[in-house]
Amino acid sequence: MTKHMPDIACQPHHGPQGKLNWVGMSGIELPIQIQQGLSQDNPIQISSKAQAYVNLNDPESKGIHMSRLYLILDQMATQQPLTSSRVKTILEAFIDSHQNLSTQAFVEFKFDYYERRNSLLSQNSGWKHYPATIRGEMRDGEFSCEVSIEVPYSSTCPCSAALSRQLIQEAFEKQFAGQSLDYQQVMDWLGTPEGICATPHSQRSYAQVKVKVNESDLLELSALINDIEAALQTPVQAAVKREDEQEFARLNAANLMFCEDASRRLQQALNSKPNYLDFWVRVNHLESLHPHDAVAIVTKGIANGYIDDPNLMDPM
């Protein structure tokens, strides 16, 4: 015989009444499946921290049914690869489970995405780590989904490069002024420490990119990483041989960037992709010259949804 247990949530609500924007749970520990690379086959399982919310549209109700949100996540977010289409299905289930209480739903999954990336020249590859977030929202039947990723890269300061070149010119003049230049002598000098008496400062940098995507059965993570790294041209490396390190140095010299340059490169690259409905980009150059960072923020356009606000910090 089933034991009767009291359900306080179903009893009349006698306290202050009012509608609530969001009610739910955060910090939900959940294993999710993510497509690896650009293939739909063989998804990988990743640990995530999830948030799940619905609005409370009935001012006379005590609250929502939080266990229903958790059970839906357990059933629907762990058994199939997480895509924007799957996120929409989860949100619809949230609302269906709260009929007469809720018309809006929100879900978020934060996780560490790992992917093997090829070395620049050698036949090696290594794992790289990209903090990622997938967010979905349903408001009165309108669905939106955002994919966020953080991509590390290297940035070399154009100003520092120019100042270094000037010092090298001065060292060259001091060494060879008034002499008839001998080709081999100059070549030998260029290979000495005196031949590169100054180097520009560079630093590990991070592009934090958030894009709005269409409903789809494909996840955009690998494609988004490729678009970002192709635009910046100086991705940090995992497995590195000498030829890779030399190529990395060449790429940094060929792609001198202020934070403004990096953000404009990403703006141009993302604007060229019709599958990104909107985007928000923050580039962070963790200065080696200064104790503070250089930052630039750019959006596709205020009218498309993202607010152009310097106080908007980390989209992740």
What local confidence, expressed as pLDDT, does residue 91 receive?
Answer: 97
227 has a pLDDT exceeding 70: yes
Residue 108 vs residue 10, higher pLDDT: 108
For residue 72, what are its two tokens? 């839906």
What local confidence, expressed as pLDDT, does residue 17 receive?
Answer: 81
| Cβ neighbours of 90 (radius 10 Å) | 23
What confidence tens digit (pLDDT) does each residue in 61-103 have?
888 899 999 999 999 999 899 999 999 999 999 999 999 999 9
Q: How confident is the model at residue 1 (pLDDT cuts 50, 70, 90)?
A: low
246, 189 contact by CB (below 8 A): no
What confidence tens digit (pLDDT) does each residue in 109-119 have?
999 999 999 99
What confidence tens digit (pLDDT) does each residue in 42-56 have?
788 999 999 999 999
What confidence tens digit (pLDDT) does each residue in 201-212 have?
999 999 999 999
The mean pLDDT of the chain is 90
7, 62 contact by CB (below 8 A): no
- Cα(first)–Cα(last) distance of the chain, in Å? 49
% of the chain beyond a pLDDT of 90: 77
15 has a pLDDT exceeding 90: no
What local confidence, expressed as pLDDT, does residue 43 receive?
Answer: 86
Q: So what CATH class is 12-157+201-304?
A: alpha beta
What local confidence, expressed as pLDDT, does residue 35 receive?
Answer: 87
3-state class of 295 per DSSP?
Answer: strand
32, 78 contact by CB (below 8 A): yes
Q: What is the mean pLDDT of residues 236-256?
A: 96
Q: Taking the CA of residue 190 as centre, how many other CA atoms within 13 Å lie in the half-sphere pointing to its CB? A: 8
Q: How confident is the model at residue 312 (pLDDT cuts 50, 70, 90)?
A: low
307 has a pLDDT exceeding 60: no
What local confidence, expressed as pLDDT, does residue 4 receive?
Answer: 74
What local confidence, expressed as pLDDT, does residue 303 receive?
Answer: 46
pTM of the model: 0.87
271 has a pLDDT exceeding 80: yes
253, 199 contact by CB (below 8 A): no
Q: How far is CA 246 from the centre of its chain?
A: 27
Where do the domains of the chain lie? 12-157+201-304, 159-196
Cβ burial 280-301 (10 Å sphere, 16+ → b, else e): bbbbbbebeeeeeebebbbbbe
Quote the longest CA-to-CA distance of the chain. 106
Tokens 């154009």 label which residue?
A: 158
Q: How confident is the model at residue 137 (pLDDT cuts 50, 70, 90)?
A: very high
Q: What is the mean pLDDT of residues 263-274?
A: 95
314 has a pLDDT exceeding 70: no
Residue 69 φ/ψ region, left for φ over 0, alpha for ψ in the -120 to 50 degree band, beta for the rest: alpha
Give me Rg for the CA atoms of the chain: 26
Beta strands in 19-141 (DSSP E): 20-34, 44-56, 104-118, 125-139
36 has a pLDDT exceeding 70: yes
